[in-house]
Amino acid sequence: MRIDIISAVPELLESPLNHSILKRAKEKKLIEIQVHSLRDYAINKHGQIDDTQYGGGAGMVLMCEPLSKIIEELKSQREYDEVIYMTPDGVQYKQDMANNLSLKNNLLIICGHYKGIDQRIRDLYVTLEISIGDYVLSGGELAAAIMVDSICRLIPGVLNDETSALTDSFQDHLLAPPLYTRPVSFKNLKVPEILLSGHFAKIEEWRFEQSLERTKTRRPDLIKKLPK
Ligand code: ADE
């Protein structure tokens, strides 16, 4: 999979995309991620990429010309399955969307900054608008990093233990069960006996019950999505 990201502040993406699992996925050539600086497409030698809003109001808006130029340049190089704009007024991002996007070949992600981007860029190029939650970030970069991380870990071969992503919270509309590792006893708290029993079927049953219980108390809204 190839992911291109357009950003006014590419530095914000450096660390999240270059460590841990994403770093390994890139090294294994399972994913390719290119971050493009919108500044390189500025309309003048002062590096201008934003301007004040028509109609008045606080906050700068990323201009049409730099965005259009870079989007068209990238689109001339490959066909994108989706052109995604990260925005708090987009559809709410969920695991199902991560699953779907992980099956695509080429994604182009546009990060807004300041107040947002000119509506005409959304009208002309964007095929999917995504919000990571009901709160406003200073830009789409951190939202994009979250989305890219959640997508990439689903690509076969990215995680060492392939079953690991399948047992994540939300994969089956259930939260994940509690986890334990050594030691067996810590500050007088013991690992549940069943996990030490070696009885695989019983362990699976216990984990499912724990998942169900956790979901019922913490996220009752998810229970409604469970297959009957
Ligand atoms: N940009 C600013 N806030 C955002 C959010 N909640 N989701 C996606 N992009 C954003």
CATH number of the domain encompassing residue 214: 1.10.1270.20
Ligand 1 binding pocket includes 54 (Cβ within 6 Å) = no
Which of 152, 186, 215 is a domain's end point? Answer: 152
Ligand 1 centroid to Cα of residue 173, in Å, is: 24
Spatial separation of the C-alpha atoms in residues 203 and 198, rounded to whole Å: 8
Residue located nearest, by CA, to atom 10 of ligand 1: 87
Q: Could you tell me if residue 106 is inside a domain?
A: yes
Q: Which pLDDT score, from 0 to 100, does residue 228 have?
A: 74
Q: Could you tell me if residue 49 is inside a domain?
A: yes
Ligand 1 centroid to Cα of residue 112, in Å, is: 8
Spatial separation of the C-alpha atoms in residues 35 and 77, rounded to whole Å: 15
pTM: 0.95
Indicate which CATH number applies to the domain containing 148.
3.40.1280.10
Q: Could you tell me if residue 77 is inside a domain?
A: yes
Ligand 1 binding pocket includes 131 (Cβ within 6 Å) = yes
Ligand 1 centroid to Cα of residue 141, in Å, is: 8
* pLDDT tens figures, 101-133: 999 999 999 999 889 999 999 999 999 999 999
Do 61 and 145 lie in one domain? The reply is: yes
Check residue 46 and report its DSSP letter.
T
Tell me which of 132, 146, 147 to substitute to probe ligand 1's pocket, judged by most ligand atoms within 8 Å of the beta carbon: 132
Q: Could you tell me if residue 157 is inside a domain?
A: no
Q: Which pLDDT score, from 0 to 100, does residue 168 have?
A: 87
Q: How many CB atoms lie within 10 A of CB 75?
A: 15
Do 122 and 23 lie in one domain? The reply is: yes
Distances (CA, A) of 125 to 10, 130, 142: 21, 14, 22
What average pLDDT is seen over the chain? 96
Between strands 189-190 and 50-52, the pairing is unpaired
Ligand 1 centroid to Cα of residue 94, in Å, is: 14
Do 142 and 214 lie in one domain? The reply is: no
Task: Please give the number of the atom of ligand 1 that sits closest to the Cα of 132.
Answer: 7
Ligand 1 centroid to Cα of residue 18, in Å, is: 21
Q: Could you tell me if residue 22 is inside a domain?
A: yes
Q: Which pLDDT score, from 0 to 100, does residue 162 have?
A: 63
User: 177 near 144, Cβ under 8 Å?
Assistant: no
* pLDDT tens figures, 132-177: 999 999 999 999 999 999 999 999 999 987 668 888 888 889 999 9
Do 19 and 66 lie in one domain? The reply is: yes
Q: Could you tell me if residue 206 is inside a domain?
A: yes
Q: Could you tell me if residue 64 is inside a domain?
A: yes
Domain range for 133 is 2-152
Q: Could you tell me if residue 12 is inside a domain?
A: yes
Ligand 1 binding pocket includes 116 (Cβ within 6 Å) = no
Do 110 and 38 lie in one domain? The reply is: yes
* pLDDT tens figures, 163-213: 688 888 888 899 999 999 999 999 999 999 999 999 999 999 999 999 999
Q: H or E stretch including 223?
A: helix 220-223
Do 137 and 196 lie in one domain? The reply is: no
Q: pLDDT band at residue 225, thresholds of 50, 70 and 90?
A: confident
Looking at the structure of the chain, the number of domains it has is 2
* pLDDT tens figures, 42-85: 999 999 999 999 999 999 999 999 999 999 999 999 999 999 99
Between strands 50-52 and 60-62, the pairing is antiparallel
pLDDT higher than threshold 90 for residue 19? yes
